[in-house]
Structure 1
């Protein structure tokens, strides 16, 4: 399924009210994976996003990965504003290495005594969930990780101290849905470890490592299943000899529950084209995003070259079986540009997916909305319908028990 399906579904001239009416009508009658709507990015920002049930309007970002943004944290979407570098406070640092994102967190969220006396420096945002942010910190040429609570701007502490300094590109992390745990993928530094990378699971309250496992492939990616507090993840290339695979894994003992040995049916290895792995809001679908290999910065600016090809593979999260592949093209760089430029976003109800694409005969950035299958229990299907009828800010005001409010906000087990 790709951009060629857009020809019959252009509703870009509609006003926001017409878009909402047509979207509800279309979504009721359409089959899963059908194209529901198409518009320009400008129209998306000017009301089409809200009318279609989406909160996210920032679909492009000029930031560069590990300079302005990180793979999981967009400076544009999170509203991080660059500090004025003409200030004398920056004179003691080499400005070409001091990134906008590190600049913001180091001078707004790290206590002064840690930066000045204990010599802590921020390298990047590793991951975040709700109001919790995990930072990649460096002290005396050694990597460790810091926890920040943004709700009260409190620095919680550090954990995972390493004996060497890692580059940002070598690290990946994710906080569990309940906010109590974190899994990090880092290079192995143990002499007796033949693997180049390991997964380490940490308790964020005690900041102690719970367990570790060596990885068969350095490019393995993972994501927590939102239906479980912290006990299950999806991981790519997790098993030996299964370079192009998707596995469902129990985190308590790293037991593999199910495996799909062919994540991408066009390649023999996922490196370096696999860019991200994540679940749908309800946890019933898994998405793996593959991007054309190589730097395409020149293509993004001049458009004298072909755009990059993006493939979004979708899987059943109960058995890891392939359900669909959505393919489209985009004038951006999958290696250096912020992932916001090519990753899909999801509606408030979780049943619609929006992507930005480019067509060969147009200079306009088009946005398309597809209907996703509604899976799982009757309770989950009712949630989708309720979320389509109410905006996210209205949900907490509904005369419902707190547990049901949490369920509607996609946090049923840990609200």
Structure 2
């Protein structure tokens, strides 16, 4: 039996249906679905058998929220499930992908930053995902201001009694690892998975995670609050904005700026 998946797009303020998004092909399994920052597109990750590639694959389809038509689609992996998160600073055009694969470029199951406007990877992590992740479930999310990328790895023990949460905090532009945090919780069978995800304060300066620790012979949930790295002055903010708009650091020398400012733009922090 062949069937097509459909999605009604609803305006909650007006309580009206804007249109119906339909899967491009029959027998496509929905892995992930979200409306992109900027609200212009809906992104749906499908798993299906591609007739053109003659194999099963994970493809990300972008649908226009006005016409409900496919704008673009990208193959993210053929073997294992990829995970993704949109950078809130760039509307729909920039996305972080874990377990990304591109055989032509020699990329296999990596954490990358991907430009949807060009359809190309523009930054690869220097960490190997197979050795870093193993066979687990992941969550990718950005901090509120988009400056940090958080990757959470969830792994259960063999009995499903205890889950282990490993959180990797990256600079979202360079994919450099800033901090690593680990915690343990009751198995996923006992607690809703949404409770595992890190949560941010309204200002975006603090991150909350849960930990299941033993105290005085009793085990209970502990809430941990972390102060996130952030820019402390306008000069640092301006530096980041300039670097974000350059294709690479080789263009710094071409900027009409004094040499001292060029050296400031080239500065590499200790953790880089």
**What aligned pairs does 1:230-245 form with structure 2 within 5 A after superposition?**
230-240=92-102, 241-245=106-110
Superposed, 1:264-413 pairs within 5 Å as 267-268=130-131, 270=133, 272-293=135-156, 299=161, 307-333=162-188, 338-361=192-215, 362-375=218-231, 378=234
Aligned twin of 1:119: none
Q: How many residues align?
A: 230
Equivalence map 1:114-125=2 (5 Å)? none
Question: 2: CA distance between counterparts of 1:186 and 1:325?
Answer: 31
2:112 matched residue in structure 1: 247
Shift of 1:348: 0.6
Residue 256 (1) aligns with residue 121 (2): yes
**Which residue number in structure 1 is paired with residue 88 of structure 2?**
226
| Aligned residue in 1 for 2:42 | 182
Q: Deviations over 1:63-92 (max 9, x none)?
A: xxxxxxxxxxxxxxxxxxxxxxxxxxxxxx
Distance 1:212 1:269 in 2: 28
- d(CA) in 2 for partners of 1:317 and 1:290? 17
User: Which has the bigger relative contact order, CA under 8 A and spacing at least 6?
Assistant: 1
| Aligned position for 2:65 | 204
Structure showing the higher strand proportion among its residues? 2
TM-score, normalization by structure 2: 0.75
- When residues 354 and 296 of structure 1 are mapped into structure 2, their CA distance, relative to the original with a 3 A threshold, is farther
CA distance in 1, matches of 2:32, 2:158: 21
Higher helix content, 1 or 2: 1
Distance 1:340 1:378 in 2: 35
Is residue 19 of structure 2 the alignment partner of residue 164 of structure 1? Answer: no
- 3-state SS of paired residue (1:330): strand
Q: Secondary structure at the match of 1:311?
A: strand
Displacement after TM superposition at 1:282 (Å) = 0.2
8 A Cα contact 2:50 2:57, kept in partner: no
What is the distance in 1 between the residues matched to 2:94 and 2:233? 19
Q: Is the 8 A contact 1:263 1:313 kept in 2?
A: no
CA RMSD of aligned residues (A): 2.8
Unaligned stretches of 5+ in structure 2? 238-272
User: Is contact 2:86-2:92 (8 Å) kept?
Assistant: yes
Bigger Cα displacement from structure 2, 308-317 vs 269-278: 269-278
Q: How far does residue 237 in structure 1 lie from its aligned partner after superposition? A: 2.2
Q: Which residue of 2 aligns with 1:406?
A: none
For residues 186 and 151 of structure 1, the distance between their equivalents in structure 2, rounded to whole angstroms, comes to: 29
Q: What is the SS of the residue equivalent to 1:206?
A: coil
Please give the alpha-carbon distance, in whole angstroms, between the structure 2 residues aligned to 1:356 and 1:200.
Answer: 34
Match of 1:144 in 2: 6
Unaligned runs of 5+ in 1: 1-139, 300-306, 382-415
Give the Cα–Cα distance (whole angstroms) in 2 for the partners of residues 331 and 150 of structure 1.
Answer: 36
The alpha-carbon distance between structure 1 residues 243 and 200, as it changes in their structure 2 partners (threshold 3 A), is: same
Give the Cα–Cα distance (whole angstroms) in 1 for the partners of residues 190 and 57 of structure 2.
24
> Contact between 1:249 and 1:258, CA under 8 Å: does it hold in 2?
yes
Alpha-carbon distance in 1 for matches of 2:137, 2:127: 13
Q: 1:363 to 1:377 in 2, by over 3 A?
A: same
Give the SS at the match of 2:5: strand
Query: Is contact 2:137–2:155 with CA below 8 Å preserved after alignment?
Result: no
Q: Deviations over 1:17-73 (max 9, x none)?
A: xxxxxxxxxxxxxxxxxxxxxxxxxxxxxxxxxxxxxxxxxxxxxxxxxxxxxxxxx
Q: 1:377, CA displacement in angstroms?
A: 6.7
Give distance in 2, aligned partners of 1:244 and 1:166: 22
Provide closer, same or farther for how the CA distance between residues 175 and 255 of structure 1 changes in structure 2, counting only shifts above 3 A: same
Question: 1:156: Cα distance to partner?
Answer: 1.9
